[in-house]
Every structure is written in C-alpha cells, then in structure tokens.
Structure 1
Amino acid sequence: MGLFDGASPDTDEGSTAEVARLLGLPVVLVVDARKVARSVAATVLGFQRFDPRLRIVGVVLNGIGSARHLDYCRGPIERATGIPVIGHLPRRDDLQLPERHLGLVPEVEGPVAGEFFARLATQVEASVDLDLLLRVAEAPDPPAVPPRLFPPEPVPAHALIAVARDRAFSFYYEDALDLLAAWGAEVVPVSPLADAVLPKGCSALYLGGGFPELYARELSENAPFLHAVREAAAAGLPIYGECGGLMYLGREIVDAGGTAHSMAGLLPLRTSMEGARLHLGYRRVRALADGPVLAEGEEARGHEFHYSRLDVLEEAPAAYEVLDQPGRLEGFRAGSVWASYVHLHLAHSPYMAPRFVATAARHRRRE
C-alpha cells in the first residue's frame, strides 16, 4: 500500500498519510526508479502537491541501475520539488525477500529475514546519507493525547488468554496483545502444531491469522491438541478465531494439491485453496450477537486478507454484518466459538480489549 492508500478512495482515512498528518511527522518517500529516469521527478512532485499538509522531507530511490541512472533521477527531483534525494538502493537480486500468495514469508519460518536485513543494513550504510536522514526526519514531540484505550494503571492479571503462535499462526497486532495484558490478561503462547494441551488455567483461546493451509497436514495430525480444543469448546471456553483461526475451527482444510485435512470441526465449514482468489481490504462490521470482543450491535473496523475459498456445509448463525458491503454476512458463531475472516483491531474501541478479558474472566469464575 502506498502513502495515501487507506480505508476510503476519497479521503486519507486510515492511510500512512493520515497518521503522519495527525502526528505532525515528516515523510521520507521511497520511490521505485526502475525503468524510469526524469519521469520519477513527476511522481515525487505529484506526491508533494497531492496533499500540501504533509511535509515530504526526503526521497530514497529504489532500483537504481548505475551512477548515471542515479544522476538522471536525482537532479530532476531536486530541481522540480526542492526535496533532497538522501540516498538510493541499487538493483540487487539478494535484496529480494521471498514471497508467497499472501506476500512475504514470515520470520517465524526461518532465518531468512535476519540474513536479509543484515545485507540491507550494509547496503544502506553505503548508499544512503544517514546523517542527512536523521536531520530531515527529526520529529517534534507527539501531541498530548488523553488516555483512551489503556487503563490509568495496569490491571492485575485475572484471566489467562492462550494465543496460538507458531509457524501456522503468527498474524497479530502486537499492540492489541499489549492491550489485553494491560486490562488484566495473562497472554500465554500456545502451538497448535506442537502442543498437546491448552495451558493450565486457560480461560480463553485466541487463534489469529497465519498460514494454516501450508501446515494443514501437521495441524491435522496433532490429534491431542485438536481434542483439547474440542473439549474446551464443549465446556464453554471462549474461543475467538480470525482468518487462519477460522480455517482451523472448521471441519477441514483442502490444500493446494486437493488433499483434505481434518480440523477442529467446531464450525460447519470447509476452506480450500482450490479455485481460491484474493480477498483484500478494510472492513466495517457490526456484531449480530454478543461475542468475546463486541456486544450485539457494536461496530468495529478490521482488515480482510486471504486467498482461501470457504464452503458452508450447514446453516449457522453469522457473526457480523459487513457495513461497507450491504447484504453481506461474515463469520460464524456456535456456542462459545466465534470466528471470522476479518482481523479486528482491539484498539478500534476502548471497550473491545476489556470485554475480551472480562469474557475470559467470567469463564474462569464458572470453573
């Protein structure tokens, strides 16, 4: 996504530009210069004029092929805009991160990211004026904002929320987990790939996004953990799944080769990588019943980003209505299990994180 891309085609809402504007932060623009020269100046000038409220203080050029190419880009940019080109990155095959159907390969899958960033750091030191970068990017103190999301003082832990974290599940907003901890959750990682049981004293399970389709066989073969999740659901444990978590809570995942792998079976759905297409974008949803993070009628914003196809095997109550796609229902709920393709951000509302913790705490008290 670019500087101005966000939740709306008509405003900067939800974009990096909005964040920079609200916080009064300077912007360093990274521009792809492959296959262009002087034309890149028009691109930078367009960004500069598109929203004059932003302070674009420097440019880094990506994909420079030679010293001559750099000269053909730098001069026109600086003359047309007055913005300094503070450095560049050359074309180098070893500065390409491996990708897959949803983007970059996560760091949890191996040391690829560490090796990449070591090479990148060496290159940046050689071709970017870091002293100039620090000078032009100096930011003012952030504006004073009254506390809204976090409690005045951290709440003592009174609920244990197990969070699925391994190679199959790694897509989380870290500040959302910080919010849960601040409101009194002991956030404990658990691995659906490797663990046999839920943590002792577990009072809720949070299954986030990731790539369960790549580890469907291993997830299916970990029968003890699947059994533990089913038993916990039968006992009323609050279970909240997002995207990959939704897939895990269904009956089966069909991998790209067409092989079906049994999952938890708590929701009447099958997800498949066959014939799948990309679903991407911000979502506004309204809860259709009381759930772990939203009460009935409450609204929240989130993000949908997946390649899998979903087949509904039996009728089941939906979790949300999608407000920016009229008529569309999203997600499923069954007893204490609540799951959807939408990744909600718990910072959208000051009530979401404390509600999740309170839901978990109520289950703990009932035990």
Structure 2
Amino acid sequence: MNPRILVAGTKSGVGKTTITIGLMGALKQKGIDVQPFKVGPDYIDPGFHTQITGNRSRNLDSYLLKDKVIKESFLNASSNSDISIIEGVMGLYDGKHGGGEPGAGSSAEIAKILDIPIILVIDAGKMAQSAAAMLHGYSTYDKEIEVAGVILNNVSSERHYQMIKDAVKQDIEFLGYLPWNSDLELPERHLGLVPTYESKNLDSYMEKLSNYISKHIDLEKVIGIANDTKKIEIKNWSVFRQTQKTKVKIAVAFDQAFNFYYYDNLDILSELGGEIIEFSPIKDKKLPEADALYIGGGFPETFLPELEENQSMKKTIKNFYNSGKPIYAECGGLAYLSKEIIDFDNEPYKMVGIVPGKVKMTDKLQAMGYVKAETTNNNILMNKNEFTKGHEFHYSKITGLNKKESSYKLFGGKGKNGRHEGYVNKNLLASYVHLHFGTNPSLPKKLLKKAEKTK
C-alpha cells in the first residue's frame, strides 16, 4: 500500500521543516518506522530526518530524475517502512520553471508522480479568514493534486484556529495547529539550517519537538491520510535492483565534515556490486582498503585544523591517487583535495594537494542552482563532450586551475553559461557539481569498471 504523505508549505519559512521533523519524531515515539524523503537537492534537512528517524533520508528530484526513477528511488527506500514522510521544497508549486504548470523539481510535481496526498502548512500569524482563502487557492490551483490536510502554524489561540477552520468550505482535514514557540525554531546560517552535528542539545530538542507535535497535531488523522493511498508498483526496474555485479570496494568519506550525499548514489553503487566502506578524514589515520574513493560535500571549512593535522590520512589519499585507482570528489571533497583552504578569517590550512588549486571561503554565494554539464575531458564517469545534469551550491571559490584540465563546461545556475569548472587528471575527477547517479546510470557503472581494472 506504500502509506505516504508530503508535507508542503505555502512558501519558504512557514515552519515546514520543523513540523516535518516533529511529525517524524512523534510517529517514531509511537513505534512507527518512518522513512524520510526530501524534495529537491537539499542535504541539511535530510540530516535532521535521518537523525530523528534512524533511517537515511533520500532526495526526490524531478528535474534530475525521470518519473520512473523517482518511483524506483521511493520504493527502494520505503518498501520495509510503515510510513513515508516527504518534506517539500519552497512553496508547493515552486520549482525550476515558472508559468502555469508546476515547475520541475517542485513539491507538486513529486506529489503527482507518486500520487501523494499533501498536508499543507500555513503560517496563520496575523491572519484570519485570509488563511481560508489561501488554503482554497492552493488546493484548487491544480486539480491533479490533493491537499488532504492542513496544519496551521503560529496560531494565537483556540479561537483563532476555530475562526479559520469555520471559514473553510472544502473537504480538507484540519490536523491541528501550533502556537508560536521560539524554543522550537531551528538555527540557520549560510547554507540554510545549521547541520545536525553542529546543533547543540539536538536529542533534547528533537524529543521536545516530537512531544509538542504529539500534543497539538492529530497523529491518527495524519496516519489515516497516509494510509489512504494506492500501491506503487514497478515491473521492470531500470536503475535500482540490478543483476549486474562488479565486486569492488568503495571508500566513502563520511563524518562531521563530509556528509552531503545523494544516498541513492550509494544504494546504486551497492546494487551494482560495490561494497561501501565509510571512513572519517578527521578521525581515521588512513584509508580503508578499497578500489575506489568517493568524497562528497559537506562543511570541511568547519573542521580545517583537524583535517590539516591528520597528516597520515592525507598521505594515504595521495598514495591512493598515485596508485591509479579512481577518485571522485564533489564540492567539499574538491576543496579537501586542493592545496589549501583559506577560511573566513583569511587563515590558510593545508589540505591533500592532489588538486592544484587553492580554495577561498567567501561571504558571498558563488554558485547556486541546477546546471547542465558538458565534459571537457575524458574522466572516470564520462567521455569528453557528454552531457549530464547536476546541482551546485557553495560559498567558496577555487583559483589556480587550468581550464584545459577542467571537469565540465557548465550551463545554468548562478554564473555565465559555458564556464569551465572542476579538475580532471587521469584517475581523478573533482568538481563543485553534485551528480545523482540516477540521472545517468552509466556513470556508476563506468566508475566501478575503472575500479575493477585497477584492483
């Protein structure tokens, strides 16, 4: 039956993430196994999902992935759980494209693909009947989606809540309301929310939030909406659940500094026969025995002294590179493999040094958004002049690279079209661009074949 709901907001900042996390925690307190998801390319929100549910959150992105692959991703992660909760992105209808149709990557589009009932979060502060008009608009704008329930945030009193509820003329479940509570606001900084590992007293906060949601929201109604869904079935899987197996070991950097991954990428590599071995560039003294190395994004700039001081780890990564085995790095991984990272206070820290450039942290957003990437050189994932799609979001910039050794020419996002980005040298591919292997399943297959040849 695949019980599922999508929690969407009327816009960013209405409390969607806080309520989503609280719902996940409150249901888990009831002994319900929750599988979390996030619409779009965000990595920080899924960290909170994972923390509170104990299950790794997956990204559902209709710009990067075909409809069938989204269904595969959803079923692959959720098949053994009791309920799936998908957190939306921005406002319900906001995506990459404007116009009369929901944009690619929007919450509404994901709701259509997976036939998910929507629970809409409305910030009702300083509103009365206008909140009812807003609910009417969001629920009737697109007849192909179902707004099945509503949660009102920042409600001043029971009377305020009832006033809005009485003004609504549609058959939509009111699931409860949340009074304003400053203690439950999540802190933010330059990439959005402060990540889980930097949030103080997180377990206590999660428990308080879950209890708060249980007190104010009708969880049985939420479960009822989730259960009133059709089963999703796939006859012929195209990306997940593959029969092809390539027996190789893949070392994946995973700790406080590096934890921004599309977890589907790790699932896909595992499905193809790759054995994922996690390690910490901060704490471990050397790489695990492996045939390929994958360093994702994160916040290396927050742990520069620790990364610089771990000389033995940096040495083993250099040796791994010199052995000819494939190394794939994204964003924070690119920065870690560079000569040095200069922090926000202009203090330099020496990094691995196999990418010849230097990375400087800035207060200004350097790149953000979806991009189309054309390979400028043969690399461990693609041949020259091939195209793929990805996403970039970073406040740092790298200097000292030769565009003849770039990874891609990028089109879209923030920055001029056709800009050279990243670094390729033999068995190394490093770039600011995050790729989802479900976009092009040939990418992980080529990586594993390369790893097998260099075993």
TM-score surpassing 0.5? yes
1:308 equivalent in structure 2: 396
Unaligned runs of 5+ in 2: 1-89
Offset from partner CA, 1:287-322 (integer Å, 9 cap, x none): 223322333333222221212233235555111122
Deviates more, 1:276-285 or 1:85-94: 276-285
Offset from partner CA, 1:84-136 (integer Å, 9 cap, x none): 32112221122122222112233344674433322222112111112222223
Matched, 1:267 2:355: yes
Unaligned runs of 5+ in 1: none
Change (3 A) 1:61 1:42: same
Distance 1:289 1:112 in 2: 47
8 Å CA contact retained: 1:266, 1:334: no
2:26 equivalent in structure 1: none
Give, as a single letter, the amino acid of the residue that structure 1 aligns with 2:128: A
Q: Tell me the SS of whatever aligns to 2:92.
A: coil
C-alpha deviation, 1:2, in angstroms: 2.5
1:144 equivalent in structure 2: 234
8 Å CA contact retained: 2:366, 2:397: no
Distance 2:217 2:369 in 1: 33
2:157 aligns with one of 63, 66, 80: 66
Instruction: Report how many residues are paired.
Output: 360
8 Å CA contact retained: 2:165, 2:174: yes
Q: Tell me the SS of whatever aligns to 2:125.
A: coil
Distance 1:104 1:57 in 2: 28
TM-score, normalised to structure 2, is: 0.74
8 Å CA contact retained: 1:280, 1:305: yes
1:45 equivalent in structure 2: 136
8 Å CA contact retained: 1:288, 1:321: yes
1:246 equivalent in structure 2: 334
Distance 1:199 1:133 in 2: 44
Distance 1:336 1:194 in 2: 25
Matched, 1:197 2:283: no
Distance 1:152 1:257 in 2: 48
Distance 1:294 1:256 in 2: 34
The 5 A counterparts of 1:281-360 are: 281-312=369-400, 314-324=402-412, 326-360=417-451
Give, as a single letter, the amino acid of the residue that structure 2 aligns with 1:256: F
Distance 1:263 1:338 in 2: 17
State the Cα RMSD in Å: 2.1
Q: Tell me the SS of whatever aligns to 2:249.
A: strand
Deviates more, 1:21-30 or 1:289-298: 289-298
Q: Tell me the SS of whatever aligns to 1:114.
A: helix
Offset from partner CA, 1:311-346 (integer Å, 9 cap, x none): 235555111122335322222112221111111111
1:25 equivalent in structure 2: 116
Matched, 1:258 2:346: yes
C-alpha deviation, 1:278, in angstroms: 5.3
2:272 aligns with one of 183, 190, 197: 183
Change (3 A) 1:354 1:312: same
8 Å CA contact retained: 1:108, 1:166: no
Offset from partner CA, 1:122-159 (integer Å, 9 cap, x none): 1121111122222233211014352000244373x611
Change (3 A) 1:260 1:122: same
8 Å CA contact retained: 1:276, 1:309: no
Distance 2:404 2:235 in 1: 43
